[in-house]
Structure 1
Amino acid sequence: MRKPITAIIGFVCILSSAMQAHAQTFSWHNPMQEAVSVINGRAWDGEIGNSYARLPERFQQRVPLKVWNLSRNAAGLSVKFSTNARNLQVKYTIADAPQLPNMSRLNQAGIDLYATNSSGQTHWIGNHMLWNWGDTITFTFRNLETKAGVYELFLPPYSTVTSLKVGCDEGASFRFIPSRKEKPVIIYGSSIAQGASPSRPGLTWTNILKRLTGYNIVNLGFSGSCLMEPVLFDAISEIDAKCFIIDPIPNSYRLTDKEITDRIRYGILCLRKKSKAPIIVSESYPQADIVFNPHAEERMRTANKALQAAVNQLQKEGVSGIYYQFGKDIPFTEDAMIEASHPNDIGCVAYAKAYERMLKKIFRK
């Protein structure tokens, strides 16, 4: 009888905590009602305005439809705020979308919270399943001991956020922190860059890289749609960036070798016309299940060779500031992926650390 009794007690404790969280009185703060932008991770921050999107409206008729629709997703976006509250709640709504089979609900539509205390130490904060997945989603964080702290709220990478509020204890201090203005690291890539498929938003490799380096990161990952169209490079070239990362092969392997060569050549020369910022071009990840499946993704391996040859040719022609990352530089283990196409938490850490090493090499940080 002990196990049923223990289970009942555990359920009562969870139910009690949930009821307390529901009864908590909060004062509410809307990022979109601030006088200055507080949304991090947007390259066209001022132009996008009151939207949790990643491309401005003027691109709607220029970029492919799927890219445009995916640009409405909040991948890589975050909001920072300071408060001394012990209890917080995030309340938000998202546009209807089917649940993706290769994605946890928590990563596709959830939020993630980190905090930096007065000693400068940053830690993740779990919400211990104090959530409500209704039409309005709520995540509650209770009995926090950060005292006065700076929080960063990562938004869902595969959902279109239509409204969001942050609640804190009534009477507690609270202020949003203006968005970062320093030159960003621009990441243009596939579903892997957008945020597939770790367990939660803070563990997408671009968000891990942001915490590892402290750089201002802009996520321009578009699931299944990183095909290096000239119009995308035209758009990206508008950005005054610290560095450009181009990670196309997980999608662009579907192109012919000539298309890969022509498109990466156009892209790099387009960026070089307007910017002297370093450009990192990356091969696809190493095949994690190669022992028993040695022929899988042979076309992707061939596509990597076409990409490398195009970059080598540009370097021979004197185009400066191009750096090449080989697939082997992303140290995947067999446990790094969910289905051999998208990295899990382990794989995302490997991705982020590979790019961290490359950025350190470039900037000698």
Structure 2
Amino acid sequence: MEVEVKQAGKIDIARYDKNLQTDTMADEAAVWHDPRRAPFTVTGFPWLKTEGRYRRLPVRPDRKLPEAVDRLADCTAGGQIRFSSDTAQLSVRVRLGGHAAMPHMTALGQCGFDCYIGEPGNQRYVATASFKPGDSEYTSRLYRFGEKRMRHITLNFPLYQGVEEVWIGTDEDARVAEPLPYESPGRIIIYGTSITQGGCANRPGMSYPGILSRQINREFINLGFSGSGKGEPEVAEVIREIGNPALLVLDYEANTGEPESIRATLPVFIDLYREKHPEVPILVLSCIEFAAAGFDPAVRKKLDDRRVIQRQTVEDRIAKGDSFITFFDGSALLGEDGDECTVDGIHPTDLGFKRMADGLLQVFNRCLQAE
């Protein structure tokens, strides 16, 4: 007797679980606001006021940037929209530069906005924008509460896609006011790799710079360039033009390849930055552990050699009188079971990013005391 074998078919999970349905609705009576206009504040894009674009580096810099860096500058990692409002419902309307394309990172992390409510230091996650796979334009309701009262709201921009337009939808009669102020105008600038950019956080607020931005009440500028943070001098010359720096973090080791590369680029990068900012604290952060280092002696040696070079570079500068530079060994940030904290042996999950942020908070604060 033949047994009929039922073939697996396409499963429409939203049909069976309403909690996994996409909420692409917004209140029909919503009023839509351009966050580039007061009283909203947009941070993380140093050239926004002069160029009007959600972009991390200038559109036309004084020197030619590497092609990959120039292209990836359109990714909006680290951008935030901050404001206060008593709106009972909040929505976003978004037009992206493209759609999610990476298989090992959620579409929400690549293309979504997430929302936090609360005063600095006490912000709580509320929701993430919802959209359909493949969407490059979407409207999504972030929340709908039963009461109207003033709340401090922070929206985090997507990590791995460009945002051409975003509009904020509130109740028609909602009050919208300025956000609570930062404790200082000094900015924290983090230059680095895909890990810095936020690959592969489930949602934007879970990159390690994003987590730290909820613990340190200052503007963060995320200059992570996936596969392309290599310490080029022309990039250093652009970064040093960013005003009001309180701390520069150099977290680009993972993109440098052979140890001789970072031996060549790191001193030059620091020298160029020091020409304009002789007393701004600099934190040189070595790479987190990669899973392959536990199995491949060549990977182990490369990580160890690059870490030694960075430590020695910082020690040499301190010996020559630079008292505003610090080295931090990032190899232990993920913990003894760090291989369980990544999606692919390299890029952290939310757990990995949380461990990174927890391990870095104290050294960030210590560096800022020297500001």
TM-score, scaled to structure 2: 0.85
What does residue 339 of structure 2 align with?
334
- For residues 46-97 of structure 1, the C-alpha deviation after alignment (integer angstroms, 9 at most, x for no partner) is 333x211011122285110110000011110011122111111111010125
Q: Quote the residue 1:280 is aligned against.
A: 283
Identify the residue that residue 225 of structure 2 maps to in structure 1: 222
* 3-state SS of 2:346 partner: coil
Name the structure 2 match of 1:347: 352
CA contact (8 A) 1:330 1:351 kept: yes
Q: What is residue 246 of structure 1 aligned with on the other side?
A: 250
Q: Which residue of 1 aligns with 2:105?
A: 103
**Is 1:302 matched with 2:305?**
yes
Contact 1:131 1:140 in 2 (8 A): no
1:47 aligned onto 2:47: no
Pair 289,264 (structure 1): closer, same or farther in 2 beyond 3 Å:
closer
Q: Which runs of 5+ in 1 are unaligned?
A: 1-6
1:360 aligns with 2:365: yes
User: What is the identity, as a one-letter code, of the residue corresponding to 2:230?
Assistant: L
Report the Cα offset of residue 169 of structure 1.
Answer: 1.7
Q: Distance in 2 between matches of 1:355 and 1:146?
A: 37
SS of the aligned residue for 1:212 comes to: coil
Higher mean displacement: 141-150 or 228-237: 141-150
Find the residue that maps to 1:286 and give its secondary structure. Answer: coil
**Further displaced range: 138-147 or 184-193:** 138-147
Structure 2 SS opposite 1:225: coil
Q: 1:136 is matched with which residue?
A: 137
Matches of 2:181 and 2:165, distance apart in 1: 18
d(CA) in 2 for partners of 1:340, 1:60: 38
1:201-225 deviations in Å (ceiling 9; x for gaps)? 0001111011111122111111111
d(CA) in 2 for partners of 1:81, 1:260: 40
Distance in 2 (CA, whole Å) between partners of 1:352 and 1:18 is 31
Cα shift at 1:280: 0.3
1:291 offset after TM fit, Å? 4.5
Q: Which amino acid aligns with 1:299?
A: K
Aligned counterpart, 1:3: none
Equivalent position SS for 1:186: strand
For residues 88 and 161 of structure 1, the distance between their equivalents in structure 2, rounded to whole angstroms, comes to: 19
Matched with 2:7 is none
- Partners of 2:281 and 2:85 in 1: how far apart? 37
CA RMSD of aligned residues (A): 2.9
Please give the alpha-carbon distance, in whole angstroms, between the structure 2 residues aligned to 1:330 and 1:97: 32
309-318 or 276-285, larger mean C-alpha shift: 309-318
CA distance in 2, matches of 1:115, 1:350: 22
Q: Evaluate the alpha carbon distance shift between residue 227 and residue 12 of structure 1 in structure 2; reply closer, same or farther with a 3 A threshold.
A: closer
Secondary structure in 2 aligned to 1:281? strand
Matched ranges for 1:1-365 at <5 A: 18=23, 21-22=25-26, 24-32=28-36, 34=37, 38-48=41-51, 50-59=52-61, 62-97=64-99, 99-116=101-118, 121-127=122-128, 131-132=131-132, 134-144=135-145, 147-175=149-177, 177=179, 182-239=185-242, 240-252=244-256, 254-257=257-260, 259-275=261-277, 276-288=279-291, 290-292=293-295, 295-332=298-335, 333-364=338-369
Rounded to whole Å, the distance in 2 between the matches of 1:234 and 1:12 is: 51
Amino acid at match of 1:300: L
Query: Matches of 2:105 and 2:281 in 1, distance apart?
Result: 32
| Partner secondary structure for residue 242 of structure 1 | strand
In the superposition, relative to structure 1, how do residues 137 and 309 fare at CA in structure 2: closer, same or farther (>3 Å)?
Answer: same
Higher helix share: 1
Contact kept? 1:74, 1:161, Cα under 8 Å? yes
- Residues 310 and 327 in structure 2, CA contact (< 8 A), matched pair in contact too: no
Letter in 2 for 1:349: K
| Overall identity of the aligned pairs, in % | 25
- Corresponding residue for 2:4? none
Amino acid at match of 2:268: Y
Question: Aligned to 1:57, what secondary structure does the other structure show?
Answer: coil
For residues 113-172 of structure 1, give each alpha carbon's deviation from its aligned partner in whole angstroms, at most 9, with x where no partner exists: 00116x984211025x75455342122133325721010010101111011101012222
- The whole-number CA distance in structure 1 between the counterparts of 2:108 and 2:19 is 22
Task: Give the drift of 1:290.
Answer: 4.8
Provide the rounded CA distance (Å) in 2 between the counterparts of 1:159 and 1:74.
6
**Offset at 1:25?**
2.5
TM score, norm. by length of structure 1: 0.86
Distance 1:165 1:179, change over 3 A: farther
Quote the residue 1:4 is aligned against: none
Given the superposition, is the C-alpha separation of residues 23 and 79 from structure 1 closer, same or farther in structure 2, using an over 3 Å criterion?
Answer: closer
The amino acid that maps onto 1:301 is D
Q: CA 1:155/1:274 → structure 2, altered by over 3 Å: closer, same or farther?
A: same
* Counterpart amino acid of residue 246 in structure 2: K
CA contact (8 A) 1:111 1:201 kept: yes
Number of residue pairs aligned between Structure 1 and Structure 2: 351
Q: Which moved more, 1:337-346 or 1:263-272?
A: 263-272
